[in-house]
Amino acid sequence: MCAMADAGDAGARSNTFVLAAVALPIVVAGFFLLASAVPRWTVPPPAHDLLIRVERPWTSPPTVGVDFAVRDGRVVATVRPLGPQGYTQRWTLYLVNPGAGSMRAVPVNVPETMEAGAPPLEVTVDGLVGLQVSADAVAPDGYRLQERSYGGGGLVGGLFGMGRRRPRVALAKNGRAVSIDVPEQDVNPYGPIHLVGWVVGKSGG
C-alpha cells in the first residue's frame, strides 16, 4: 500500500512539474505581451513627421560629399569636393509620416562633381520648402529616434510568431515604440540611420 501511495505521489509531483514547465513560458509571454501593450493604450501616437538620412547601398565612390543640416528651420544640403584620398557615403533623405506608416525619398539636386578646392556649396532642398523643421534630438511631443535590435524575437517571440527580423529604428516614448520600416532594397542594410529633424509646422518660404 505504502509503495503504491509513494508511486502515486511521485507521479502527481511529476505531472505538476510538467504542467509548471509548460505553463511558465506561457505566463511569462502573457506578461510580456501585456507590458508591451499597455504603453500603446496609454501613450499618444507620434504627432510629428521626421526627416532621416539613410546610407545607400555601396556602388562607386562619390566625388563630392553631401551633409544635411537644419538652418533657421529649413533643411539645406552642403556639398563639398572630395580630394584624391577623400571618401564618403552616399545618402538618401527620407520624409517619414509615422501616423500613416509611410515614408518617401526626398530628391536633392546636388552636382555630381566639383572642382578641387572649390568652396562648399549650400543647396536648398526644394522638396521640403514650406516646412518648418527642428533639429532637436527630441520631438516636441517627447518622441525620439531609437535604434532597435536587428535580430529575431527570441524564445518568447518565437512562441507567438514574432521571430521575423525587427525594424532597425523606431520612435520611442515612455515605453511605446512605433517602428519605422526603412525600404531595405534601397539602403545599406548595415549602414547607419541618422535623424535630420522634426517637422514642427509650416513656413512662409
Report, as ranges of residue numbers, the positions in the chain whose pLDDT lies below 50: 5, 30-36, 38, 151-166
User: Residue 125: CB partners within 8 Å, gap ≥ 6?
Assistant: 68, 74, 75, 76, 77, 93, 106, 108
Q: What pLDDT is stored for residue 165 in this prediction?
A: 45
Residue 143 near residue 171 (C-beta atoms within 8 A):
yes
Residue with cell string 543647396? 123
d(CA 45, CA 172): 10
> Beta strand pairing status for 193-202 and 50-55?
antiparallel
Q: State the pairing for strand pair 91-97/102-106.
A: antiparallel
Distance CA 31, CA 37 (A): 10
Q: Could you read off the pLDDT of 30-70 as tens digits, one per residue?
A: 444 444 454 556 799 999 999 999 988 766 777 888 899 99
Question: Are the C-beta atoms of residues 109 and 73 closer than 8 Å to each other?
Answer: no
- Three-class HEC string of the chain: CHHHHHHHHHHHHHHHHHHHHHHHHHHHHHHHHHHHHHHHHHCCCCCCCEEEEEECCCCCCCCEEEEEEEECCEEEEEEEECCCCCCCCCEEEEEEECCCCEEEEECCCCCCCCCCCCCCEEEECHHHCCEEEECCCECCCCCEEEECCCCCCHHHHHHCCCCCCCCCEEEEECCEEEEECCCHHHCCCCCCEEEEEEEEEECCC
- Rounded distance, CA 87 to CA 89, Å? 7
Distance, in Å, from the CA atom of 128 to the CA atom of 137, rounded to the nearest integer, reads: 19
User: What pLDDT is stored for residue 173 in this prediction?
Assistant: 95
Give me the pLDDT at residue 49, please: 97
pLDDT at 35 (0 to 100): 47
Q: What is the pLDDT of residue 23?
A: 62
